[in-house]
Amino acid sequence: MTRLDIPAPTTVEIVPFTEQHMPGALALSQAEGWPHRHEDWALSLSVSQGVAAVGDGRVLGTALCSLHGPVATLNLIIVDAAMRGRGLGRQMMQRVIELAGDREMRLAATEEGKPLYRKLGFRDYDQIVQLQGVATAARPKQVVHAGAVDTGILAGMDSDASGMERAALLARIASNGVTLSTDGGFALLRSFGRGHVLGPVVARDATAARSLFAAGATRMAGQFLRIDVFESHGLAPYVESLGLSMVVGCTAMVHSPRQRPASNYQTHALVSQALG
Which segments of the chain are extended strands (E)? 13-16, 48-55, 58-68, 71-79, 104-109, 123-134, 144-146, 178-182, 185-192, 195-203, 224-230, 245-255, 266-269
pTM above 0.85, yes or no: yes
The verdict on residue 83 lying in a domain is yes
Tell whether 124 is covered by a domain: no
Identify the three-state secondary structure at position 166: coil
108 occurs within a structural domain: no
Supply the CATH number for residue 94's domain.
3.40.630.30
Domain check: are 250 and 152 in the same one? yes
Could you give the CA distance from residue 137 to residue 244 in angstroms, rounded to a whole number? 11
Residues 81 and 136 in one domain: no
- Please indicate, yes or no, if residue 276 is contained in any of the structural domains: no
Per-residue model confidence (pLDDT) at position 105: 98
pLDDT in tens, the chain (276 residues): 344 555 566 689 999 999 999 999 999 999 999 999 999 999 999 999 999 999 999 999 999 999 999 999 999 999 999 999 999 999 999 999 999 999 999 999 999 999 999 999 999 999 999 999 999 999 999 999 999 999 999 999 999 999 999 999 999 999 999 999 999 999 999 999 999 999 999 999 999 999 999 999 999 999 999 999 999 999 999 999 999 999 988 999 999 999 988 899 999 999 999 999
Given 102, 117, 145, the domain boundary residue is 102
Q: Note whether 64 and 193 are same-domain residues.
A: no
**79 close to 52: Cβ distance less than 8 angstroms:** no
Residue 74 belongs to domain spanning: 3-102
77-123: pLDDT as tens digits: 999 999 999 999 999 999 999 999 999 999 999 999 999 999 999 99
Residue where a domain terminates, one of 83, 102, 121: 102
Of 123, 155, 124, which Cα lies nearest the Cα of 249?
Answer: 124
- Both 91 and 198 in one domain: the answer is no
Contact 232, 108 (CB under 8 A): no
Task: Please indicate, yes or no, whether residues 52 and 136 belong to a single structural domain of this protein.
Answer: no
Amino acid making up residue 177: G
- In angstroms, rounded to a whole number, what is the distance separating the alpha carbons of residues 215 and 182? 10
Residue (of 122, 96, 128) closest to 250 by Cα position: 128
244 and 136 both lie in a single domain = yes
Q: Are residues 134 and 84 in the same domain?
A: no
Do 69 and 154 lie in one domain? The reply is no
Q: How many domains does the chain have?
A: 2
Q: Would 231 be classed as within a structural domain?
A: yes
> Does 169 map to a domain?
yes
Q: Is the dihedral of CA 174, 176, 181, 187 positive or negative?
A: negative
In-domain check, residue 78: yes
Going by their DSSP bridges, the two strands 71-79 and 104-109 should be labelled as parallel
Would you say residue 119 lies in a domain?
no
Residue 153: φ, ψ to 5°? -65, -45
Residue 158 pLDDT? 98
Alpha-carbon gap, residue 274 to 276, rounded angstroms: 6
